Every structure is written in C-alpha cells, then in structure tokens.
C-alpha cells in the first residue's frame, strides 16, 4: 500500500504519540487526519483510515481490528482530563450531560454509576460547554483539553481514572492505536513506536507550544503528560483493560470482551 492514512486525536494527551507525524521526520510517510476519538473510530470502521488512535471500548464494537503493541494512552491512578463535574454529590445525580467525543469515557462513567449507586441517571449528549451542560443537568462529563481548564473550586469534581482505581486498584487504558481489518502497514508499522519515542524525548518543546495554544503554563503541560498519563501498554495496563472489558460486558455496555489481537 502507499502512505497509510492515520487518524490521530487532536487532544494534548495524544501529542507525544503523534509528534513524529506532526513535527518530526515522518510527516511525509503518512496521510494524517486529525479528529476526535469517536471520529477516529468511525474513520477506521468506514475504511477512511488505516490506523486510528481509538477509544479502547471501540475495539469491542468494530470487527477485525488489530492493536499496535506497547503504545496506549492510560492513567495509572488519575488522569486530570476525564472529569465528572457536578452540582451535587455523586449519589444524588440523576441527569448527566456527556461530551460524546469518546465513547470509552461514557462507558466508564456508566460502569462507575453501576458500582457506586443504585441510581441510573439519564445521559444526554452535549457540546463540551460546562455552564450550558449544567443548566439542565446536575452533572457533566468533560474530557480532553477542556477538562484541563476546569476549576477545582467547583462543588464536586470527580476524576474518572481515580474513581476506577479506587474501585479496582488497576490502571485505566483510554485509547490505543488500532489497525483496520485488511490493512498491511509494512515498514510503516515501526513508525508509531518511533514517533512515540521522539515525542517523549521532546516534552519541553511540546510544553512550550501547547502552553500557548491551551492557555496553560509549560510546567502544567509537562506535569499532565508525565505525572498523569502513561503511554505504555504494559502488563499492568493490559490487566486493567481486560477487567474493564469484562465488567463492561457484564453491564451490557459492550457486545463482547475479546482479548486484544496485536498487529505483526
């Protein structure tokens, strides 16, 4: 095949993974598509992309996907960018506005409700505008870059990775690179690990650029990328992912709980 079509999430958390494609030596080696997590999955499912950085829950929905090894976007204990913001305590929430950009975050939230309270709230998809989301709902799910700007002074702010860790004592894997059925990357398969390695070696440059873009300090960007996120797909992360799949299937949130099939 020619240049692989790569669907990359445009959030800060994915920047180190895609650095070699956006700023590094591999820009001419792929055709890059910048999207939200949900759209990445749609592009992969519809054959518009060959590789996509997809929400982990989508692996159970889209047949024939294979996963590139050793790479993910995960949180060992807390992530800062997947937040439930509420006007009332968790146990009193009956209506939740959700940013549907990532179906994994929505599935995780529903799973946590199943284990934290008997209440099954109503979920409504909304644009990630917190004030508007909270006008008609007690709580709002905010993910990605908008979540990094949420004030911790709000009445109730729950970090979903932290809630998952409190429940399971496992990390949570939010996303990974998946290859569509029938795609053959050839030598380009190695570029994804090289892009990740390059990005992690260029965190100072990333922090400088994205602090200006997001209105955060460089130190805040660096802390987020290094202290809250983990880019491996190690044994511990795989255990957390398998547990999530099993629990999501039990609650009817996914159609299956198949183990990862790796590319290569």
Q: Are 173 and 56 in contact (CB under 8 A)?
A: yes
Question: What CATH number was assigned to the domain covering residues 5-76+171-250?
Answer: 3.40.190.10
> Please, what are the averages of pLDDT over each run of 10 residues along the chain (264 residues)?
90 97 93 91 95 96 97 97 95 92 91 88 91 93 92 86 97 98 94 98 97 96 98 98 97 94 94
Dig out the tokens for 65 from the structure. Answer: 């996907």
Question: Does 5-76+171-250 match 82-168 in CATH topology?
Answer: yes
Looking at residue 212, what is its pLDDT?
Answer: 96
Looking at residue 101, what is its pLDDT?
Answer: 82
Per-domain boundaries in the chain? 5-76+171-250, 82-168
CATH class of 82-168: alpha beta
> Is pTM, for the whole model, over 0.85?
yes
Q: Measured between alpha carbons, how far is 68 from 235 in angstroms, rounded to an integer?
A: 15
Q: Are 149 and 215 in contact (CB under 8 A)?
A: yes
Cα end-to-end span (Å), the chain: 16
Q: Are 176 and 56 in contact (CB under 8 A)?
A: yes
Q: Measured between alpha carbons, how far is 165 from 77 in angstroms, rounded to an integer?
A: 6
Among 233, 258, 231, 184, residue whose Cα is nearest residue 12:
231
Looking at residue 155, what is its pLDDT?
Answer: 85
Q: Measured between alpha carbons, how far is 64 from 224 in angstroms, rounded to an integer?
A: 33
Looking at residue 99, what is its pLDDT?
Answer: 87
């Amino acid at each position: 095949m020619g240049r692989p079509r790569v669907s990359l999430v445009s959030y800060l958390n994915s920047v180190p993974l895609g650095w070699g494609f956006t700023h590094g030596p591999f820009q001419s080696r792929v055709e890059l598509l910048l999207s939200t997590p949900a759209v990445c999955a749609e592009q992969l499912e519809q054959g518009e992309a060959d590789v996509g950085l997809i929400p982990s829950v989508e692996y159970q929905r889209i047949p024939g996907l294979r996963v590139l090894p050793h790479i993910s976007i995960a949180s060992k204990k807390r992530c800062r960018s997947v937040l439930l913001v509420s006007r009332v305590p968790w146990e009193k929430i009956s209506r939740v506005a959700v940013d549907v950009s990532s179906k994994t975050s929505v599935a995780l939230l529903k799973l946590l409700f199943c284990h934290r309270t008997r209440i099954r709230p109503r979920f409504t998809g909304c644009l990630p505008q917190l004030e508007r989301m909270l006008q008609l709902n007690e709580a709002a799910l905010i993910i990605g870059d908008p979540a990094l700007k949420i004030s911790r002074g709000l009445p109730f702010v729950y970090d979903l990775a932290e809630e998952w860790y409190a429940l399971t004592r496992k990390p949570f894997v939010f996303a990974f690179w998946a290859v569509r059925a029938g795609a053959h990357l050839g030598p380009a398969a190695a570029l994804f690990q090289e892009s990740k390695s390059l990005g992690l070696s260029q965190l100072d440059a990333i922090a400088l650029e994205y602090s200006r873009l997001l209105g955060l300090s460089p130190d805040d960007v660096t802390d987020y990328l290094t202290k809250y996120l983990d880019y491996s797909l190690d044994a511990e992360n795989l255990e957390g992912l398998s547990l999530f799949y099993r629990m999501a299937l039990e609650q009817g949130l996914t159609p299956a709980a198949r183990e990862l099939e790796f590319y290569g």
